[in-house]
Amino acid sequence: MDTVTAIETRRSVKHFDPQHRMSEQETDELMRLAMLSPTAFNIQHWRFVLVRDAALRERIRAVTWMQPQITDASLLIVLCADLDAWRKQPERYWRDVSPEVQEGVVQAIDTYYAGRGQVQRDEAMRSCGIAAQTLMLAAKAMGYDSCPMDLSDLDEVGKLINLPHDHVVAMFVAIGKGIREPWPRAGQLLASEVVVTDRFA
Ligand SMILES: Cc1cc2nc3c(=O)[nH]c(=O)nc-3n(C[C@H](O)[C@H](O)[C@H](O)COP(=O)(O)O)c2cc1C
């Protein structure tokens, strides 16, 4: 499937075939593609929690407005981020470049993030959002449907997945075989409202 078709046909699917199982190879391929998503300074701070335990899915669903995607999707991915990844041996994010380049980037990472908690968090959310879209488009290209989700008590979800203290939960992506047509698109805004040239009026 070409990229334009994947973008045009991806929809947020609410009902998945609960019997369908995704193979390990397909799951590995999805994760390989997700991990090619861009991150600032190549920090790769996303952490993808694949929730396979049915009982855990039920408990997550209970704090996620009882949405059926949580339990019925073939794959439920909780996208989290390590807020401190920027200072955890950052040289490994640049291990394949020359020592001079590596040293320069590591210094720049420290300069950019040190003492800037809001920037660290914003960056984590950006990265997870981009990775989520990669997952959804890759899933579409592999013949699957998906749903991005965040209507949830994310603090409770964090407790359920033993989220480390320096990580955040950004959102979920549910992936599987859709069994109902999505509703027609709800109401797309016009480009004249959302596309701005140079500066706001
Ligand atoms: C960050 C985010 C969170 C969302 N949370 C939910 C959710 O919890 N449940 C749900 O059914 N859809 C959720 N959606 C899907 C949106 O409702 C959907 O993307 C929007 O209505 C546009 O429809 P489309 O994705 O089919 O084009 C979410 C989407 C995003 C981007």
Name the residue with the closest Cα to ligand 1, atom 3: 149
Ligand 1: centre distance to CA 147 (Å): 6
pLDDT score recorded for residue 172: 98
pLDDT score recorded for residue 28: 98
Residue 3 identity (one-letter amino acid) = T
Ligand 1: centre distance to CA 167 (Å): 23
pLDDT score recorded for residue 139: 98
pLDDT score recorded for residue 173: 98
Name the residue with the closest Cα to ligand 1, atom 22: 12
> What residues are paired with 170 via a beta bridge?
none
Q: Are strands 167-176 and 46-50 parallel, antiparallel or unpaired?
A: unpaired
Name the residue with the closest Cα to ligand 1, atom 4: 149
Ligand 1: centre distance to CA 118 (Å): 25
pTM of this structure: 0.97
Q: Which two structure tokens, joined as six digits, stand for 39?
A: 């991150």
pLDDT score recorded for residue 155: 96
Best probe residue, ligand 1, of 13, 136, 147, 172 (max atoms within 8 Å of C-beta): 147
The pLDDT averaged over each successive group of 10 residues in the chain (201 residues) is 97 97 97 98 98 98 97 98 98 98 98 98 97 98 98 96 98 98 94 98 92
pLDDT score recorded for residue 29: 98
**DSSP code per residue over 70-92:** HHHSSEEEEEEEETTGGGSSGGG
pLDDT score recorded for residue 115: 98
Q: At 174, is the secondary structure helix, strand, or coil?
A: strand
Ligand 1: centre distance to CA 14 (Å): 9
- For 17, 22, 88, 175, the CA distances from 179, given in Å and listed in that order, are 6, 15, 43, 12
Ligand 1: centre distance to CA 148 (Å): 5
Q: Which two structure tokens, joined as six digits, stand for 59?
A: 């408990």
Residues with CB under 6 A from ligand 1: 11-12, 14, 67, 147-151, 171, 182, 186
Sheet holding 167-176, edge to edge: 46-50, 75-82, 167-176, 145-149
Name the residue with the closest Cα to ligand 1, atom 7: 149
- Alpha helix ranges (H) inside 35-68: 54-62
pLDDT score recorded for residue 133: 98
Looking from the CA of residue 65, the nearest atom of ligand 1 is 8
Helix, strand, coil percent content, the chain, rounded in steps of 5:
45, 15, 40
